[in-house]
Every structure is written in structure tokens, then in C-alpha cells.
Chains A and B, each alone.
Chain A
Amino acid sequence: MKRLPHSPTQRIDTRHPLPFSYGGRLLEGYRGDTVATALFANGVRIFSRSLKYHRPRGLYSLDGESSNCLMEIDGLPNMRAEQVPLRGGMQVRPQNVVGSPERDLLGFLDAFHWAMPAGFYYRVFHKPYRLWPFFQTLIRRAAGAGTVNPSWEPGRYDELHFHADVCVVGGGPAGMQAARAAAQTGLRVVLLESRPWLGGFYDWRTVEHHGTPLYERGRHLARELESLSNVRVYTSCTATGLYGDNLVTAVQEGGPDDFFHQRYLEIRARAVVAATGCTERPLVFEHNERPGVMQPGCAHRLARTYGLLPGTAAVFSVGHDLGLEAAADLHDQGLHVACVADCRSDGQDPQRIAALEERNIPFLRGWVAARALGKKAVEAVVLSTTEGSATRTISCDVLAASAGLTPLTGLFSLARLPLSYDERTGYFLPASLPEGLYAAGRLVGYDDPASIELSGTAAGLRAAVHCGALDAPRADEALTELQDNHRVLRGSKLVLAPGAGARSFVCFDEDATVKHVRQSVRMGFDVPELAKRVTAIGTGPSQSGIPGHNLPLIMAHLRGESAGTLRPTTVRPPLKPTLLATYAGLHPDIHKKTPLHDVQERAGAVFRRVGVWKRARYFSSDPTCRDEILNVRNNVGILDGSTLGKFRIFGPDAEKALQRVYVGDMSRVPAGKLKYSAMCTEDGCLLDDGVATKLGENDYYFTTSTGRAGATVEWFRFHTRHEDWEYYLVNLTDSLASINLAGPKARDVLQQLTDADVSNDAFPFMGYREFRLKGLVPARVLRLGFVGELSYEIHIPSSMARTVWQWLLEAGRPLGIRPFGLEAQNVLRMEKGHVIIGQESEIRTTLIDLGLGFLWDRTKTWAKTVGAPALQFAESQEGRLKLVGFLVDGSRPPLDGSIVVDGSIRGHVCTCRYSPTLDKAIGLALVDDDLAALGSRLRIFEPGDPPEYFDARVVPTPFYDPEGQRMKC
């Protein structure tokens, strides 16, 4: 198809042809085309088949209001061809057809539309139930538009997060003026525009305003704006979300020169101006979506923007002056306009009517398209008076139809503003806007270029006032000027064309018609939100694109009520369907590494994620960790415990704060000694455990478990929030590394690094010392015994961790030192009967259930210890689960999570391992208290096919070195 001669409104570059393929055919378009316009230029008229009835669908609008142009483009399903810029070499394919869109073997389904009333699927296929799976498979196959392409490799997906003072959404005249006005007060302004260029409604129009054609005015404003250094303009960029505190999200399509394919934007703005304008309200009449039926704006833009005549002979059925303007202009471009019907009986701009008369175009007031004729494309249209009293049939191959304009209120819906009906415009708009959100332009009903621009300026200035860059009176001036001069649209009130029924589509995506809406009202689904659920109207990819504000109008009409009694359905983010790849963006894998990560990696560590950290779990491929375990028992091992929570608390009320959250009496921590204690929840359930030492008066150093480190400060603050206490709590977790040196030869290793006396007498079990290693590195050394051997937990500045690790390895080499990981530690501590929170406890497990009741100091009632009342309450309660140690008959341990049974479920295995030290299978389990007595027999059920049973006996813990000689010597 030949393009129209060059006109300055065109956005295509005919010097740059772009080859692409469509369903195997090689075609050509131009730079500046969208896939849809390029296909249209090549004679394609049927773009897709509809979801349910497989009706042919064509190019209806150009901004993605419906699913009519969904195609597979470069391997991606469900792409909107009218919004995808054409690139050379693109592979375009139709989807969801058997055959081609022109000849779809499923097209016969259209004849059965009568068999599918609203709620159809709920009535059939389920009786008898045994046939349902069969129908279910058929339904699944028929449903769904595109096909997932597992081999699609995304290109580059970028993301941007930034702040702005004012974010203007919509780059038409109102949006541009808003941005300019706000920018002139010195604010940082960002402007988002979905189309690849600024200009909005001006962009393709040649009518003049104050002597300048509108398109020229649009381009002039755009150039001016782009030259401002404090304005950032993003084109091909659609706002998808508006959230609390004016967080705007948007998606930008990368152009041929961009390094990214798509980009996700998150903009935190102080003020937002909505200037999203209007689209055309679909005219609902019989066969209103036959290929060849399109919005007048679409027809106009095809010619003016893309140089394509929409057809040869056209009929217009419009409800707004823009439609009249389009008809006249298209006539001048060479389209035969057979007739223009306007559903309004009066109120037209006399100039527009004169223009039609000049061109001898028949013009009918109070007439409307009532039915499109033709099978796969429009061949003629039946026009009717709006009340249906007379009809007239006219042949045509293009029917440009709309009921008028409708505002794009998506942003308002996202801002959760209730919409109400405005009598004059016939729009659903919010009664008022919250502080920080402003609106301008056609969106709120302004209709002539002067008012539209002025409203933009006023909104921009009000946004500036909100940001504190301007005094209110300046903005008020603009508002007054606007009020003096404005012209607000008188919108068309037409709801349905006469005779609209079974083939009058309210929602193209879901193939839902006026008949379906009527049925849903009859069923009791008589408000849009409910009708939406039973008819699926507005649940397709374009959400409310087509049904939008028509649905509440139609429903009110069907209920015999006046327009405006019902509200449109809620539109939800994203306003434009957005690829998961785009949302995922750069998606860095965020985690923390300890300062010893790399050295352990070189030593062959296998890491696991533990909360925010990566930690070494194994140092060999043996999951039982036998060698690692035995080496700790016989020689000496070294473990990276840097993730351990480390805190200093000081200040006049530090001790009080400790007393509040710890169950033990923290006043009894002698200097140079460690105290092991626990924190409980208000329910008395174990939350955290660790050790504390006193550094000075009201100055303590304490540790928490890895998992609690991040929440500890908040926990202290929360539980002391009603006290007027002064204390400072410093999280040292990341600044200090921790190395656990454990095993009978640990002292021999440590001694080589320090002159300090580390003998058992000078530095006994549960002691705390500070000294320098090799005279250089300040260390806090805690003599503990989590794994049940002589061990030192060495806390050093993170920056020194690698050095110290190396020193320890060197010093320990002759003694057989080697690193061990979390799993070895898990077995070692289990042999000692020490619990790991979350492994041996559930959220409902109290300190006492775990046998740790001795940690609770019941005398310090004045401290209001968190959890103490609950501990008191549950202390002697029967029927609770208790933690026990057990010995398995036989050497194979049941796997963790196996359950204890005796006809009912009586508990579960928390941890169970074969102990290489003891050569036995031992474990810890939570069991009903009547099974907890020493010597009780436990029957353990390990799931599987078939399951396995184990027998075990409750035994005392620790399993290993019950007297604790090894860690104390």
C-alpha cells in the first residue's frame, strides 16, 4: 500500500525501510512505524481472533486499549502490535488461531455465541463429575492467548530509581505546560509520555489555533521543554503505578539507540500532575468490532502520523468535534467520506460543520451507527437515529465510530479516589484530589487548546506551591485566568446505539456483549464490580481500555436508572501489562558475605544462604562431615562465626534494659566472666540466646544468634518504649568478625598468637579476656563450649579477620587444624545436647519446654522481664511438648522431621544424626510430656513409600561428655 505524500505531521521516515516477517511472509515497513501500522500498510486487516468466539479483529485504536492486536513478536507472546515500534528483522506471528487470522478454523465458534450466556462455564461440564476432567482439558486448551516461549532470552533490562520534585504524567499540551510551569520555578521535573514523542492530541492535527497549526505548536512546546536543564523527559514511557506518598512507577521501551530493551522506573515525587488526557469512548452497536471499524482518532492518526489511508470509503459515527475534524481532514487526504453521523443533536462547533459542508460531506445530527455489515470486514453500515426511529444503510470499508471521549482515569483509580459522574462532561472523575496530586487538560474536561494549556500551567504552578517553590497567590492567578477563559466540554450522553444486543461488544478482550451484561443484571450481579466477575469484563490484558466508563453507563441504562448511579470498576496496577523481565530489572543477588568468605571458598567450602548471609556448610563432599567432626573432637577445628550478633550496650540504664529482655539476672555478670542467657517472647517462648559480659559500670558486650542480630535493637527499644531510660545500643555484628577455635588443642594454637596467659587457671571456662594477637590485633576472646570442647571464640575487627584466620591456620598446622562448617557444628552441638533455635524449638516452645528453665531468674520481678508471666503460667502446665534426647536402636538415624507416633502423632524429630564420636544414632525430639521421661520408648515414623519405623529410647543429655570436662579443662 502506498503511503500518502509527505506531510510534516508524519512520524515515519520513508528513507529508512525496515524488513520484517509476518507469519512467514517477508514484509517492509518504515522507521517510525509500529508493528501494527506496518502490517496495515501491507494490507493486513485481520490482526487476531477473539478469545471465546474467534471473531476476526482488526486495528481499532492505536494506544493499546484492547487485545485486538496481540501478537507474538520476536518470540514474545501477547505483544501489542500497535505499541511496539517496528525494528528491522522482527519476527511477527499471529497467535491463538488455528490456521491464520484470516482463516481461523475455530471461527465457527462465533455461530454458537447464543450457547454461551453470562456465567456459562458455571452451568455446564460438571455433571456427571467424572466427565469434568475431560472438559477441563478442553477449556484449558481453548483458553489463553499466547504461548510461553521458554527459550526466549531477554536482552538488557535496566532500572532507574530517583527522586523528583514534580512528576508529570502525560506529555500532551497540558502535561508539557505543567512541566514547564513547574520547571520555571526551579524545581526538578520529570515528564513521562507513553508515545515515542511529546505532543498528545496536537501531534497530528493541522487545524490552526491563533494562526499556528496545532502540530507545530506541539513540536514547539516539546523543543522548549527539552531544552530546560531541570526537566527530564522520558518518552515511550508509560506510568504503570501510583502508590502512597507519590511513588510513581513506569516502564520505558528502549529505542534503537538505547542500551536497554526495557527499563523499570521508580520515581519518588513530591507532587504528581496527571495529564493523561482522553481516549475515545467506544460506541457500542451490533458488530462494533468488525475489522474496518475503528476509532476516528485511529483513522486520523493512520493518515497523519503514518501516511496510511484507513480505507477507500468511510462512514463516521462520532460524538465529539474531533471526529468531525478527522472526517474533513481525511477527506482532504483522499478518503471518500460517505457520511458523518453525530449522535449529538446539537452543540457542535459551527466551524467543523461548515468544513463538512464545504466538502459536500453529508452530515446527520442525532444519528449513530447501529450495525456493521460484512463478514470479515465492514462492507456497509446501518445508521439509525439515536432513538431508532429511522435507518439508512451506506456502503463503506471504514467505519470510524466513537461515542465521544472518555478520560484516562487510571491514575485516579490507583490513587484510590472514588469517581463520581459529572453531568456536563459525562465523565467519571474524582470529586476532589488529595494534596500533592493535580490534574490538567482533557483528562478533567477542558476541551479547547487555550483552556487545555492554561489548565496545565495552573496545575504545574500548584504543584510548585506544594513543593514550596512558589507562593500560593501566583498559582491562584493562573487558576483565575483559567476560570475566566475555560471552556469545558459538553460530552455526548449516548450509552448504546439502538438495537445493541448479542453482538454489541462491551469488552473486546473477553468477548462480552450487552447481552451478557443484561444477563448478569438479571442474575443479581447488578453493579459493575460484580458484573465484572461473572462476565469477565475488564479482566483482560487491557483492563478497562474498552469497557471502562461504558460499563457503569450501560448497566445503569439497563437498570432503567439515570447515568451516573453506578461507578466504574477499579483499575489496578500495572496500567499497562508489563514483562516480568522488566520488573525484575537488573535483579542483583543481594546477600552478605563474611570477611572470611573468600578464604573459606578457597578451602573448598560449600556455602548455604542463612538469612541474609552466605555461610560455609561443608568443607568436603561428605554430607556426614565425619572428618570435620572427629578433627574437632581429637585435634582442633576453626569455624567462621562472624554472622553472630555482637552488641555493646552502655549508658546509665543499660543494665536495666538488659534485665528487661534477658530472662537471667544480668546484674550478676562478674567482670571477666561470661553469662549465658536467653530472651523470650511475651509468651515465654525462646527467641534468642547468647552470652554477655560486663565491660564496665553499665557497659556490656553481648552476642545474639545470627538470625536475631538484625532485630535486636528494635526488640530492646520496643520493650523499653514506655520507660524513660537512657542507654545506647550499638550493633557491632558487621564490624567484628568471629572465629571459633575449638578442640583439645585449641589452647596450644592460641598461645602461639599471644603473650597473654591463656592457661586454664588464668583464663578459665566462661571467661572473657581482651588482648592483642601477635601484639597487633585487638581481640575479645570468649571461652565457650558450644561444640563441647575447649574453645575460644575470637572476636576481631573484620578488616583483620583474614590475617588472624591465616595466623591460626599456620599456628595450628602441626596440630592438625582444619576448618569445619555448619553441619559439623550441628552434629557436635547436638552431641552436647545444645539447642539451635528454630531447629529444636517451634514458635510455641517455651524456655521450660526446652529444659532451659534454669536460665530464668524468677526473683527479679521488678525488672518486668519479657515473658516472665507466661513462664510462670506455663511452668507446671501438663500436656506440653518437651525436648528430649533419644538413642536409636540401630545405627541408621531417622531423618529430621520424622514423627513420633503411637496411633496418633506424639511429637517429631528435630535433629537426628549418626554420631561418629559415640558410634550411635542419637537425636533430639519434641514429644508429648508423658513420653518425655527417661527410658520412654519412642516409635518413629519416617515418611516414604513404604514408610520406615524406628525404635528409640529417651536418654539423658548431653550425650557426649555429660560432666563437661572437655570444655572446662
Chain B
Amino acid sequence: MFEPFGRLWKQAPFRSTYDAVIVGGGLHGLATAYYLAKNHGVRRVAVLEKNHIGYGSAGRNTAIVRANQRTQENIPLYDEGLKMWPQLMDELDFNLMFFNCGNLNLAHSEAAMGALRLQVASAQYLGVRSELLDRKQCKELIPHLNISEDITYPVFGGMYHPPGGTVRHDALVWALAKGASALGVHIHQQTEVTGIAVHRGRVTAVETSRGTIHTLRVLNAAGPWSVLVSAMVDIRLPIHVLPIQAMVTEPLKPFLHHVISSGAYHCYANQSLKGEVVTGAHMDPWISYGTHVTAHYIKHQAEALTELLPCLRGVKFMRIWGGLADMTPDMAPIIDGNDPIEGYYMDCGWGYFGFKSAAVTGKYVAEYMATGRCPKILQPFRLKRYEENRLLGETASPPQYGPWN
């Protein structure tokens, strides 16, 4: 127990043929590889990562998990995902630090209360715990919350979701890599996919910076870069890649016991097990693959947080970082396969909410790739929905203004 870990994932030989190739060593890619091997006996799987695993959003997110989404197409997937953490910790034998602290989402107007009520109603109706609180109840839950009238957006009430919380993001990357590798999956880092060969409407190989790999199944799990990978097979994705930032304060003794978020203030915060207040997330509204940060965001965040939680005035920001969010028009992912190219699958467009769903989605995408049939739970996320002008209802307002986690 106290001896150090050995190598978490093996250094594997680079083969020229695999049964399935996964582009992207992020969470969705690793999870799919793990479940392909574990549940479907597909073990000759390669995960190709152009950098190191977890380099993308997997290593930059704030790891908030919840299942109080807005629509019946989304809730069941996230609900199952949320229930998986204890089991995953056991099965992967890795402490993923699931912190079931519950999430409080604040409303600052009558209209916002109505919008939250819709989410609470959908959750309750589908058996997910979620409730509306008035402002006094919010204060009882989070004694440091400022519910006075004299702030920019006075608190009206909130949506409390007890089963949610946070997970340690890196731990999930490593645990999945370890689990997949133990089952025979090859993880190739510093290996960039540069092309996908298609012959007569079906995938035959992928080109990489280290040579060609023959395969009949490819998953595009390249996160923010999924648009570029998709372009290799001439499929245009309705994804905007926007820079998104988050930051942490210095570590403090426990004082904030929930995830708290506010739409009007455009911020959320929670205290990690290590004691840092983790807070995000701002998206620049312009498209960019740069992971830069901006001066104004850190200032905005301080202004917002010191109004909501005045006790944070005497706390220091320690560092801010940037990542990328692959945003779809309806803030729901694109999960599809064999259409129009046999053997080409995609699991992308996860924006800023793809951490919490990674394991469960990987499980079903693996089933999809192993059987060729799309599991029912993933059917709402087809790419065609955009062509048919049938957006999912995950957001009522334009995508820039959601709960950002």
C-alpha cells in the first residue's frame, strides 16, 4: 500500500494494425478504449495522443460532476455517469477523490427561478435529486453566501443538487490509462494523427506522425481538435472552439462545502480537497485554439466572487489557466458513427461539460464501436440533428451563457 506505484501504463510497441484506433488521449478516448477492452474483448486497441495523455481539456477542467441537466435526452446519461464514481474507484483501484458535496446554482431574478424550476422539474420527474431553495435556504446551505439586496445581482434562490460534486480530473486520466493498459490497450503518446484513409466509403487506415496504422474502426475523440480530425474525412462539424479559463486560490482550511454557481455573475466556485477554491469559467466569444488567459477575466472573477462570497476578499488568487471548449450550437455533444463513413465514429463537442460524462459515454461508445449499433441512450446526439434543424434543448439561451461546468 505504501510502496510507490510502478509504471501506470506500459510503453507499448507501435503496431501497424489495430482492431480500433482512438484519436485523442483525453478522457473520452481513454474511457472508450478501456471499455472496448473490458466489456467487449476488443483488446487490440490503440489510443493515439499527439502530446501526453490528458494534455487537452482533460487536464485543464474543473471536474465538476452533476446530473441536473435540462432535458430528458441528457439527464439519463449524466445520471448514470454520476452514479458510476464509487464503482469506478473500486474497479480501477484508484482514488478518484469523488467529493459528493452537492451543487447549488443560484438564480438572481424571477425569470431565472423559472428557468431553474424547469431543470428541477425535469430532474425530479426522471428521478434525479434536485430541489429549489429560496434565498434563506441558500444561506443556510452556504453560510458565507451574501444574500443582501445591495449587490449587483441579489440572490433570489437556487437549485440544489445533492448528488453532484467534484472529482480529481488528473486521477481519472491516469486511472483509465492504467486500467486500459492493463487490459492490453496500447497508449501511444507523442503520436499525432495526420490523416484518415477511406476506401469505398469505409475507413481503412490512419496516418500518424509515426507511420500508418491499418484499422477498420476509428474514433474521433480529439476534444477541441475534433473539428480538424473530422476535416480529414471531409465531415464538417458545427463546433466553435472557444478559449475558456479557470483559476484557483491559495489553499485554505475547509470553509466552502458545496459547488456554488451563478449564471448572472458568470462564475462558479468550489473548494477542492486540497483546500484551494477552484473557480471558473469564462469563455472568450471568439474562436481560437490559443489557451491564453486575459487580465479582465481574473478581475471579473474577483468582482463576482467578492460579492457572492465576501469572505473571499481576504483570499488570494494563485494561478489562472486556459483551455479550449468545443462548443456545439445546442450545448450537447455529437456522438455518431458509420454515417456516412463506415467505421468512422465521433464523440466530441463536449464544450465545458465533458468531464462528468467521460466514463459513461466511453462505456456506450465502446458498445457502439463493438457492435456497430448505436445504444439508445446515445441516439439523441447524432450529427444529423443539426442538418434537420432539431437542436436539443440543453440550453434555452445562447451557448455562451450556461452554468459553465
Contact = CB atoms under 8 A, between A and B. Distances in A.
Nearest to B169: A533
A579 interface: yes
Given A140-B273, A608-B109, A578 B317 contact: yes
A523 interface: yes
B115 interface: yes
A684 B389 contact: yes
A115 B4 CA distance: 9
Given A143-B273, A583-B298, A897-B116, A905 B389 contact: no
B228 interface: no
Contact of A126 (B8, B94, B126, B294): B94
A843 B396 contact: yes
B368 to A, nearest CB: 23
Interface string A107-127: 000000011111111111111
A528 to B, nearest CB: 11
Contact of B302 (A140, A523, A584, A842): A584
Contacts of A842: 393, 395-396
Given A583-B299, A609-B153, A129 B86 contact: yes
A128 B98 CA distance: 14
A138 to B, nearest CB: 10
B250 interface: yes
Interface in A125-145: 125-129, 132-133, 136, 139-141, 143-145
A467 B33 CA distance: 55
B59 interface: yes
Nearest to B115: A897
B5 A897 contact: no
Most buried by A among B313, B321, B397: B313
Interface string A138-159: 0111011111111010100000
A543 B118 contact: no
B contact residues, range: 35 or more
B314 A77 contact: yes
Nearest to A610: B109
B121 A942 contact: yes
B200 interface: no
B348 interface: no
B298 A897 contact: no
A123 B314 CA distance: 35
A145 B4 contact: no
B292 A244 contact: yes
A497 to B, nearest CB: 22
Given A78-B250, A838-B396, A943 B313 contact: no
Contact of A150 (B249, B301, B311, B329): B311
B319 A543 contact: yes
A897 B118 contact: yes
A489 B99 CA distance: 50
B30 to A, nearest CB: 14
B94 A122 contact: yes
B71 interface: yes
Interface string A846-885: 1000000000000000000000001001100101110000
A573 interface: yes
Most buried by A among B255, B264, B393: B393
Contact of B395 (A247, A843, A873): A843
A756 interface: no
Contact of A683 (B95, B253, B389): B389
A881 B8 CA distance: 50
Nearest to B132: A943
B117 A136 contact: no
A124 B320 contact: no
B295 A249 contact: yes
A117 B2 contact: yes
B291 to A, nearest CB: 9
Contacts of A264: 299
Given A129-B86, A132-B89, A146-B252, A897 B315 contact: no
A266 interface: yes
A895 B116 CA distance: 11
B57 to A, nearest CB: 14
B90 A581 contact: no
A899 B72 CA distance: 11
A129 B89 contact: yes
Given A573-B298, A684-B389, A898-B117, A123 B313 contact: no
B313 A581 contact: yes
Interface string B302-319: 110110001111111111
A121 B54 CA distance: 19
A899 B118 contact: yes
A533 B170 contact: yes
Interface string B152-182: 1100000000000000101100110000000
Given A148-B252, A579-B316, A416 B292 contact: yes
A580 B318 CA distance: 10
Interface in B244-262: 249-255
Contact of A874 (B125, B389, B396): B389
B314 A523 contact: no
B295 A844 contact: no
A943 B252 contact: no
A124 B391 CA distance: 44
B306 A580 contact: yes
Nearest to A905: B72
Nearest to A244: B292
A78 B388 CA distance: 55
Interface string B387-405: 0111111011110000000
Given A249-B295, A523-B8, A904 B117 contact: no
A583 B312 CA distance: 11
B121 A943 contact: yes
Contact of B9 (A124, A524, A901): A524
A205 interface: no
Nearest to B391: A844
Given A77-B250, A244-B292, 4 more contacts: A152-B314, A527-B52, A617-B110, A843-B396
**Shortest beta-carbon contacts, A-B, top 10:** A144-B275, A897-B117, A583-B302, A896-B114, A117-B4, A577-B316, A897-B118, A844-B391, A581-B313, A126-B95
Interface of A: 51, 75-78, 96, 114-129, 132-133, 136, 139-141, 143-150, 152, 154, 241, 243-244, 247, 249, 264, 266, 416, 519, 522-524, 527, 529-530, 533-534, 540-541, 543, 572-574, 577-585, 587, 589, 591, 608-609, 617, 683-684, 823, 838-839, 842-844, 846, 870, 873-874, 877, 879-881, 895-899, 901, 904-905, 908, 941-945, 947
